[in-house]
Amino acid sequence: MITLLIFEDRQNLRDSLKLLVETEERIKLLAMYPNCRQADKHIMTHKPDVVLMDIDMPEVNGIEGVKMIKAVSPDTQIIMLTVFDDDEKIFESIKAGADGYLLKKSIAVELISAIYNASAGGSSISPGVATKVLNAFRQKSNQQKRETFSLSKREQEVLELLTKGYSYKKIAADLFVSIDTIGSHIKNIYTKLQVNSAPEAVAKALKYKIVDT
């Protein structure tokens, strides 16, 4: 059973998220909150596996919420929900430790697989978010020397698909290998790049031109 908390200020979206996750027998929604004012306390009380986190909320926003949660529970997986109207907030979320990003317009299609992926230690990034991050880092790294960080050819292939927003399942299907094999490759990628999440890996891949974009 995957346990879940939701932080979202809009009542209608909270209700929609609740309806979506309650269709899955293996996902248990523990609670929902309209802001992150007591996010750390809520995490310690409920101890969820996965958190769905809106970026823009009153009182205490999602970026600060990520910092609060990671400070008391580093292993809690946090998926950011965003309309993607502010690039800087996405990058601040990456630095704060967010583990995945979904565009709100894609929630109905991608949410459940993103939760399962996160609970398995993976990360989901909506293609639109991945593309936006890619373009921004491309602009900032035009003069950056290309690096490989000793990644194998297969690891570079996996990383390139990760930058496109592919899930573990889709990467495995495209490369004709098992999801466990992809998980092993990504673990090696994280170690070699000295990162802890897919967004960080994507950011570093683009900054150092590890993959072709």
Extents of the domains making up the chain: 2-124, 133-207
pLDDT band at 65 (very low <50, low <70, confident <90, very high): very high
pLDDT tens for 137-191 read 555 555 455 567 889 989 989 998 888 878 888 899 999 999 899 989 999 999 9
2-124 is classed in which CATH architecture?
A: 3-Layer(aba) Sandwich (3.40)
Which CATH architecture best describes the domain 133-207? Orthogonal Bundle (1.10)
For residue 143, the model assigns a pLDDT of: 47
pTM score, two decimals? 0.67
- pLDDT tens digits, residue range 31-61? 999 999 999 999 999 999 999 999 888 888 8
* Three-class SS of the chain: CEEEEEECCCHHHHHHHHHHHCCCCCEEEEEEECCCCCHHHHHHHHCCCEEEEECCCCCCCHHHHHHHHHHHCCCCEEEEEECCCCHHHHHHHHHHCCCEEEEHHHHHHHHHHHHHHHHCCCCCECHHHHHHHHHHHHHHCCCCCCCCCCCCHHHHHHHHHHHCCCCHHHHHHHHCCCHHHHHHHHHHHHHHHCCCCHHHHHHHHHHCCCCCC
Q: What is the mean pLDDT of residues 127-135?
A: 61
